[in-house]
């Protein structure tokens, strides 16, 4: 898909939980080659939107397309195969497996299933190739030195980078990052901004949910602000930051 063309399109997307209108009519166009920011106060529906788009939840109604084709609904695995991968706000790692094994499992296309057994199903040559690919990804996110460390023994910051490596293992066209900098110390935030820039340079379209406005400003070409499950503003980071509805949404939070 050419840079600037619509790649991910959402039309009047809704996801309600009983009476809770978590996502309540989101129409949104993400353009190929963009780093598209998604901001909004806590509870504004950002994670739910990602959960629907990535296939974790089925939508209540609405349409979502990737390159003009309907995205599968309600299957993380199917959605990842079409080219949309995501990280989780609450990390989803196999804590007993090493960093390398975590990426290898992701390369096998197994989502959130405690099945290190898939590793046993690989032939020798295939396993070596998977290891090399996984190591290259760990190197890309700055974790090559810790390939053999169990995920539970990594620092919290390193676990966040491992989560990104696992999402990249799915070779996404669109990578959705749900608050990847949450809880990170400043030096790790700086490293992560640099990593997201390199991901973008690889030609991957990024949707970034982020609270740090300086991070949003330095990375994003376009920002959409949500409140109450609906978009309330869209534009450049500076335009959106200054938008009175956005200012009010944050003050009222
Ligand atoms: P954000 O990520 O912007 O902080 P969320 O998408 O997590 O917001 O939440 C939006 C609203 O939907 C909140 O009111 C939240 O409590 C509700 N919500 C999210 N997930 C569920 C769920 N699985 N069941 C019921 N309510 C949910
Ligand atoms: Mg959230």
- Cβ neighbors of 136 (< 8 A, separation 6 or more) are none
**Residue 170 to residue 111: CA distance in whole angstroms:** 10
Q: Is residue 164 part of a domain?
A: no
Q: Is residue 88 part of a domain?
A: no
Q: Which of 45, 52, 54, 182 to mutate to test the pocket of ligand 1 (most atoms within 8 A of CB)?
A: 45
Q: Is residue 162 part of a domain?
A: no
Compute the Cα dihedral for 160, 97, 174, 8 and give only its sign.
Answer: negative
CATH at residue 177: 3.40.50.300
Q: Is residue 163 part of a domain?
A: no
Q: Do 130 and 60 belong together in one domain? A: no
HSE on the CB side for 123, CA within 13 Å? 2
22 close to ligand 1 (CB < 6 Angstrom): yes
pTM of this prediction? 0.92
Per-residue pLDDT of the chain (253 residues; tens, 9 = 90+): 678 899 999 999 999 999 999 999 999 999 999 999 999 999 999 999 999 999 999 999 999 999 999 999 988 888 988 999 999 888 889 999 999 999 998 887 654 444 455 555 656 677 788 889 999 999 999 999 999 999 999 999 999 999 999 999 999 999 999 999 999 999 999 999 999 999 999 999 999 999 999 999 999 999 999 999 999 999 999 999 999 999 999 887 5
45 close to ligand 1 (CB < 6 Angstrom): yes
* Count of structural domains within the chain: 2
**Residue 195 to residue 180: CA distance in whole angstroms:** 11
Q: Is residue 190 part of a domain?
A: yes
| Range of the structural domain that residue 116 is part of | 94-156
The answer to ipTM > 0.85 is yes
Q: Do 24 and 76 belong together in one domain? A: yes
Q: Do 31 and 102 belong together in one domain? A: no
Q: Is residue 101 part of a domain?
A: yes
Q: φ and ψ at 174, to 5 degrees?
A: -120, 125
């Amino acid at each position: 898909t050419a840079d600037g063309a619509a790649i991910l399109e959402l039309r009047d997307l809704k996801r309600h939980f009983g009476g809770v209108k978590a996502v309540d009519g989101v129409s949104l166009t993400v353009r190929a080659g963009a780093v598209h920011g998604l901001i909004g106060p806590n509870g504004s529906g950002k994670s739910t939107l990602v959960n629907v788009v990535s296939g974790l939840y089925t939508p209540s109604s609405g349409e979502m397309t990737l390159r003009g084709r309907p995205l599968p609904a309600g299957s993380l695995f199917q959605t990842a195969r079409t080219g949309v991968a995501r990280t989780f706000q609450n990390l989803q790692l196999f804590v007993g497996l090493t960093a390398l094994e975590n990426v290898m499992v992701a390369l096998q296309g197994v989502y959130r299933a405690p099945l290190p057994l898939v590793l046993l199903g690989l032939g020798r040559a295939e396993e070596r190739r998977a290891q090399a690919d996984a190591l290259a990804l760990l190197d890309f996110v700055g974790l090559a030195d810790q390939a053999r460390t169990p995920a539970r023994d990594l620092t919290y910051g390193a676990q966040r980078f491992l989560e990104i490596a696992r999402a990249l293992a799915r070779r996404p066209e669109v990578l959705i990052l749900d608050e990847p900098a949450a809880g990170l110390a400043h030096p790790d935030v700086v490293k992560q901004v640099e990593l997201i820039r390199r991901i973008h340079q690889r030609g991957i379209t990024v949707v970034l949910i982020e609270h740090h406005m300086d991070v949003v400003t330095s990375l994003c070409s376009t920002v959409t602000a949500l409140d109450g499950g609906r978009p309330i503003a869209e534009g450049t980071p500076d335009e959106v930051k200054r938008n009175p509805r956005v200012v009010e949404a944050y003050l009222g939070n």
